[in-house]
């Protein structure tokens, strides 16, 4: 693999190699999901055509194979988003414990609608469809994939204040 | 109430290998490696214990293992930690508080079916917590040589490999999970062939839920009779029940199968603010809803729940009090299945959208009586007409909500507002 075909740092290449080694020799495609997650994390939370092409070249697979994965799974973003990802679980258990009130509160506080990022790009409020499997801690949210449970609007303010000041 | 998978939860450093070893952890695995329990015995013990899959389907685990294509070729074990059935939050605790029970269970299962590799697929949203803990646990188990080459100086070699997803409910369906591990979109496969014959990369594969596998070491250690007898009356063994919704103390409780619903409710200090119980979804959002009074004294086991027209499913018990608007809840459930349908089968792809849009119409006050009939019609046309169970899962709530709360839905289309507000 020549360097011109991908733009990954030496470190990133090593990490992808490690992921690749989890699977049988002729099963490169299996490495797509985990590789995309670390590539996306390294690129401010989103993927672009250059990165997707790079991974396809690096794994010697078709670009469309990578696109199929990148467009199917909800944790991949193909457009720039705010730095801190907020996902409020609004599935039934959380809905019964006022998760909709939590979402409205965050929308009001950050002056955005669900699915949008703040103007200063500090926060992205994901339109989360899935149950986040913390039902006994409802209502809950994840910020950058860390759980915050038994939320109240006061608690949410405190969490977002801390992150904003970070 | 009974501690197997949860036995380390309240200990200090619950996820560390030292803690697990202090609880006699890996003793089952050592017994098997030393030849004290012959290979042929392992599947028999699991079969006789009555252990059933705890992810939702409730199929006999031992029987599933015995289906493995025994020909001399590469085989795989897959642990399904893609916990995402709405209302279910047990595997997340096992993975972060008792990961070594999952690893030991995966080793025993791999050995029993002749797999040299066991993958544990965690849902993407577990990347910040469970993923870190489980990876660390695997590393520890390698250091102790419970996993890897020539395990405990034997000839046995088994690799345990953690994998991570990236957000897709459908991947919890076992063949969709295989597609996902192969690096594709998570679209379920047509069965047969079953994974035990042709699974991951076309090789024989057994897929078990996290809680199921984490239970295995305890059964091997204490015997099949012991496990069987943990259940109440005719039920075998235990289950983790995830109690959520309108409760004073929502909790995850490991309890004997056959425990009365009222007992679980007591453990959670009753319905929130002592309101009246209205309805319960007892096995994750995919199973039919039942009225509160119909489940109160029902034993929580597969057969008893079947008798009242619902299912044990994943053990995700969602409790709703008298203030709950059933139209709103059903709308939310339908939004979920619409968003998560993989789009492969037309009845599910189109039908889930129809259901959701019709419920939005009703909720916004623009529905009429014919929309209620439409909901029933669309739901019955999805049910049984798709490759996987997601279509059924989208249909069952609709049919059961309408059946049990018809007046409430009628009131909504008639008065253009909720009956409970």
Structure tokens at B24: 């006699």
| CATH code at B238-321 | 3.10.20.600
In A, which residues are within 8 Å of B186 by CB distance? 72-73
- Residue A31's pLDDT band, with cuts at 50, 70 and 90, is very high
**Is the Cβ of B254 closer than 8 Å to some Cβ of chain A?**
no
From the CA of B213, how many Å to the nearest CA of chain A? Answer: 19
**Which of B125, B166, B318 lies closest to A92 in CB terms?**
B318
Contact B340 A129 (CB under 8 A): yes
From the CA of A127, how many Å to the nearest CA of chain B? Answer: 11
Predicted local distance difference test score (pLDDT) of residue A4:
59
Evaluate whether B204 touches B7 at the Cβ level (below 8 Å). no
Contact B332 A92 (CB under 8 A): yes
Give per-residue burial for A139-158: e unless 16+ CB within 10 Å, then b: bbbbbebebbbebeeeebee
Q: Which of B263-269's residues contact partners 24+ apart within 8 Å by CB, and which partners?
A: B264/B300, B264/B317, B265/B296, B265/B319, B267/B1, B267/B243, B268/B243, B268/B319
From the CA of B223, how many Å to the nearest CA of chain A? Answer: 32
pLDDT in tens, chain B (421 residues): 689 999 999 999 999 999 999 999 999 999 999 999 988 899 999 999 999 999 999 999 999 999 998 889 999 999 999 999 999 999 999 999 999 999 999 999 999 999 999 999 999 999 999 999 999 999 999 999 999 999 999 999 999 999 999 999 999 999 999 999 999 999 999 999 999 999 999 999 999 999 999 999 999 999 999 999 999 988 899 999 999 999 999 999 999 999 999 999 999 999 999 999 999 999 999 999 999 999 999 999 999 999 999 999 999 999 999 999 999 999 999 999 999 999 999 999 999 999 999 999 999 999 999 999 999 999 999 999 999 999 999 999 999 999 999 999 999 999 999 999 7
| pLDDT tens digits for range B173-201 | 999 999 999 999 999 999 999 999 999 99
**Is it the case that residue A166 has pLDDT exceeding 90?**
no
Evaluate whether B81 touches B213 at the Cβ level (below 8 Å). no
Structure tokens at B383: 């049910």
**Is it the case that residue A2 has pLDDT exceeding 60?**
no
From the CA of A21, how many Å to the nearest CA of chain B? Answer: 10
Contact A31 B324 (CB under 8 A): no
From the CA of A31, how many Å to the nearest CA of chain B? Answer: 7
What are the domain boundaries of chain B?
A: 17-228, 238-321, 326-415
Contact B245 A92 (CB under 8 A): yes
User: Quick one: B71 exposed, middle or buried, by C-beta within 10 A (0-12, 13-18, 19+)?
Assistant: exposed
Q: In degrees rounded to 5, what are phi and psi of residue B243?
A: -95, 115
Alpha-carbon distance of B45 to B220, in angstroms, equals 7
**Is it the case that residue A5 has pLDDT exceeding 90?**
no
B391 Cβ contact partners less than 8 Å away, ≥ 6 residues apart: B341, B345, B347, B348, B351, B352, B382, B383, B384, B385
Contact B184 A68 (CB under 8 A): yes
Beta strands per DSSP E along B107-250: 117-122, 159-164, 205-209, 238-245
In B, which residues are within 8 Å of A74 by CB distance? 166-168
Beta strands per DSSP E along B266-416: 277-281, 290-291, 316-321
C-alpha distances (whole Å) from B286 to each of B56, B311, B315, B362 are 10, 9, 11, 21
Predicted local distance difference test score (pLDDT) of residue B382:
96
Name the architecture of domain A84-164. Answer: 3-Layer(aba) Sandwich (3.40)
Alpha-carbon distance of B58 to B80, in angstroms, equals 14
- Residue A28's pLDDT band, with cuts at 50, 70 and 90, is very high
Tell me the fold of B17-228: Rossmann fold (3.40.50)
Predicted local distance difference test score (pLDDT) of residue B69:
87
Interface residue of A37, A40, A41, A130 to substitute, partner B, most B CBs within 10 Å: A130
Beta strands per DSSP E along B49-116: 76-81
From the CA of A103, how many Å to the nearest CA of chain B? Answer: 15
What are the domain boundaries of chain A?
A: 3-72, 84-164
Predicted local distance difference test score (pLDDT) of residue B93:
98
Phi-psi region of B225 (alpha: psi -120 to 50; beta: other; left: phi over 0): alpha
| pLDDT tens digits for range B372-418 | 999 999 999 999 999 999 999 999 999 999 999 999 999 999 999 99
In A, which residues are within 8 Å of B292 by CB distance? none
**Is it the case that residue A3 has pLDDT exceeding 80?**
no
Torsion of CA A16, A21, A22, A26, to 10 degrees: 110
Contact B185 A72 (CB under 8 A): yes
Which class does domain B326-415 fall in? mainly alpha
Residue in A with minimal Cα distance to B183? A30
Contact B128 A131 (CB under 8 A): no
- For chain B, the C-alpha Rg in angstroms (whole number) is 22
């Amino acid at each position: 693999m020549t360097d011109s075909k991908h733009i990954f740092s030496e470190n990133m290449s090593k990490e992808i190699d490690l992921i690749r080694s989890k699977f049988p020799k002729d099963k490169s495609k299996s490495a797509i999901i985990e590789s995309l997650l670390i590539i996306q994390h390294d690129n401010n939370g989103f993927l672009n055509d250059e990165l997707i092409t790079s991974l396809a070249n690096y794994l010697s697979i078709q670009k469309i194979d990578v696109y199929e994965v990148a467009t199917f799974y909800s944790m991949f973003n193909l457009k720039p988003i705010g730095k801190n990802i907020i996902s409020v679980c609004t599935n039934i258990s959380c809905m019964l414990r006022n998760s909709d009130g939590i979402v409205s509160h965050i929308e009001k506080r950050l002056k955005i609608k669900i699915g949008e990022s703040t103007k200063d790009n500090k926060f992205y409020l994901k339109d989360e469809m899935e149950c986040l499997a913390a039902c006994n801690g409802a209502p809950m949210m994840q910020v950058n994939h860390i759980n915050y449970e038994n939320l109240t609007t006061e608690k949410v303010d405190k969490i977002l204040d801390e992150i904003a000041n970070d | 109430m009974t501690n197997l998978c949860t036995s380390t939860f309240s200990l200090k450093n619950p996820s560390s290998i030292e803690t697990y070893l202090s609880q006699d952890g890996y003793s089952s695995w050592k017994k098997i490696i030393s030849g004290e329990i012959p290979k042929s015995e392992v599947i028999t013990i699991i079969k006789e214990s009555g252990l059933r899959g705890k992810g939702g389907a409730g199929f006999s685990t031992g029987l599933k293992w015995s289906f493995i294509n025994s020909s001399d070729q590469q085989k795989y074990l897959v642990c399904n930690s893609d916990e995402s059935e709405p209302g279910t939050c047990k595997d997340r605790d096992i993975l972060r508080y008792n990961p070594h029970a999952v690893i030991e269970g995966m080793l025993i299962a791999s050995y029993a079916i002749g797999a040299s590799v066991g993958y544990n697929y965690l849902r993407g949203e577990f990347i910040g917590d469970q993923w870190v803990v489980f990876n660390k646990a695997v590393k520890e188990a390698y250091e102790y040589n419970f996993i890897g080459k020539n395990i405990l100086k034997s000839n046995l070699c088994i690799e345990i490999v953690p994998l991570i997803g990236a957000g897709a409910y459908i991947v919890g369906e076992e063949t969709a999970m295989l597609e996902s591990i192969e690096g594709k979109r998570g679209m379920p496969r047509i069965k047969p062939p079953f994974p035990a014959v042709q699974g991951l990369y076309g090789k024989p594969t057994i897929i078990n839920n996290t809680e199921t596998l984490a239970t295995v070491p305890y059964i091997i250690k204490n015997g099949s009779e012991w496990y069987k007898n943990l259940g109440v009356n005719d039920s075998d063994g235990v289950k983790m029940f995830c109690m959520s919704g309108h409760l004073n103390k929502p909790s995850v409780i490991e309890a004997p199968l056959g425990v009365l619903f009222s007992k679980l409710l007591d453990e959670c200090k009753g319905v929130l603010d002592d309101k009246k119980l209205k309805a319960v979804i007892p096995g994750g959002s995919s199973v039919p809803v039942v009225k509160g009074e119909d489940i109160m004294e029902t034993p929580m086991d597969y057969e008893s729940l079947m008798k009242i027209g619902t299912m044990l499913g994943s053990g995700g018990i969602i409790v709703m009090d008298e203030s709950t608007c059933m139209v709103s809840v059903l709308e939310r459930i339908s939004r979920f299945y619409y968003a998560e349908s993989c789009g492969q089968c037309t009845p599910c792809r189109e039908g889930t959208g129809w259901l959701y849009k019709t419920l939005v119409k009703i909720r916004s006050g623009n529905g009429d009586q014919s929309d209620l009939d439409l909901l029933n019609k669309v739901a019955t046309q999805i049910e049984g007409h798709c490759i996987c169970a997601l279509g059924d899962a989208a249909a069952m709530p609709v049919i059961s909500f309408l059946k049990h709360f018809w007046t409430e839905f009628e009131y909504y289309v008639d008065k253009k507002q909720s009956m409970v507000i």
